[in-house]
Amino acid sequence: MSKKLVTVTILLIVLACVLPLVLTNYRTFQATLVLVYAIALLGLNILTGYNGQISLGHGAFYAIGAYAAAMLMDQAGMPYWATIPIAGAVCLVIGFLFGLPALRLEGLYLALATFALAVSMPPILKAHFLEKWTGGVQGIVIVKPDPPAWLAAAGVKLSADQWLYYFVLAIAIVLFIAGWNLISGRVGRALVAIRDHHTAAEAMGINSAIYKSLAFGVSAMYTGIAGALGAIAVQFVAPDSFTVFLSITFLVGIVVGGLASLSGALHGALFIQFVPNIADELSKAAPWAVFGVFLIGFVYLMPTGVAGALRALTRRRSSGKLLHPKEALP
């Protein structure tokens, strides 16, 4: 990691820490959702951006994480923080198992299989025989967690929204650092190698079957953790919050933000959180048409995503010694 990158990252974390102190509770809540989406997109980016496996079904893992957290809190009375690792572990296992048969599928066929996962999720969640646990069409209402008592005892007064923001921020930082470590080491190189040249990767000794299924598992784990945090933030889960539209929104997020880029997850999260709102304010009649215009504009102006555009910009500014004539992914 370059010195400059470290500086930017630290500045960003500092900024993220002061943000809720200057924002309203509602804006803080929105910022929390941005962090939640960033975690989800980071997960999808590990799979699609770095490993080249297209998923149109990550909304399903987000849903599983969300329901795992909601059900554990609602029925088992578990504290909200304890549900996070469980939601992650459940999605890790399910993602890995889904990844095994998906090994036989490439490109568009994999996209279709994951699409099937996404469309089947709402009906499963509504299923009559599961209603006892899932709450059926009604879903489950969750109580917003209060700031812990030790914080108040230490003299720090936070609103529930502020506390949740910091809670999510801490988890996001940990997950981003872990993601960075993963991507920049031996495993990350193997994932990209498989994406770039499958047979050459295997000739180099990479067991692509294992790597691809584990990438699926880890990716689902990230997105599942995001789902759990999202459920706690919005205090509610219901089948129709997790339609295939959510999956496609995630895919839009990583493409707009920047494929195979960690910072792209953050840019993408900002996009999917705020651009629909902006579109809605611009046109009450046809907000999605406005959204579409935004989307086309972004993709047209920044074909390698926001992350790619920023990278090209800083590179142009920092020096003339251009070693890469073409913008390549990291």
Which residues here bind another protein, judged by CB under 8 A? 178-179, 181-182, 185-190, 192-193, 195-197, 199-208, 214, 218, 260, 323-326, 328-330
Shortest Å distance, C-beta 283 to another protein: 39
d(CA 40, CA 266): 10
Instruction: Check: CB of residue 264 under 8 Å from CB of residue 254.
Output: yes
Measured from the CB atom, is 27 or 189 closer to another protein?
189
Q: Of 125 and 226, which has the nearer Cβ to another protein?
A: 226
The distance of closest approach from Cβ of residue 41 to another protein in the complex, given in angstroms and rounded to an integer, is 18
| Closer of 151 and 182 to another protein (Cβ) | 182
Sign of the Cα torsion 8, 9, 10, 12 reads positive
Comparison of 284 and 321: residue with beta carbon closer to another protein:
321
Distance between CA 35 and CA 170 in Å, rounded?
Answer: 10
By beta-carbon proximity to another protein, the closer residue of 143 and 200 is 200
Shortest separation between residue 313's beta carbon and another protein, angstroms: 18
* Number of Cβ within a 10 Å radius of residue 14: 10
Minimum distance from residue 57 beta carbon to another protein (Å): 21
Complete DSSP assignment for 36-54: HHHHHHHHHIIIIIIT---
Three-state SS at 141: strand
Report the nearest approach of another protein to the CB of residue 92 (Å).
Answer: 10
Start-end of H helices in 154-302: 160-184, 186-196, 198-203, 208-234, 244-257, 262-282, 287-301
Task: For tokens 């990767």, name the residue.
Answer: 201
Which residue, 182 or 295, has its beta carbon nearer to another protein?
A: 182
For 237, phi and psi rounded to 5 degrees?
-125, 140
> What minimum distance in Å lies between the beta carbon of 302 and another protein?
18
**75 and 132 in contact (C-beta within 8 Å)?**
no
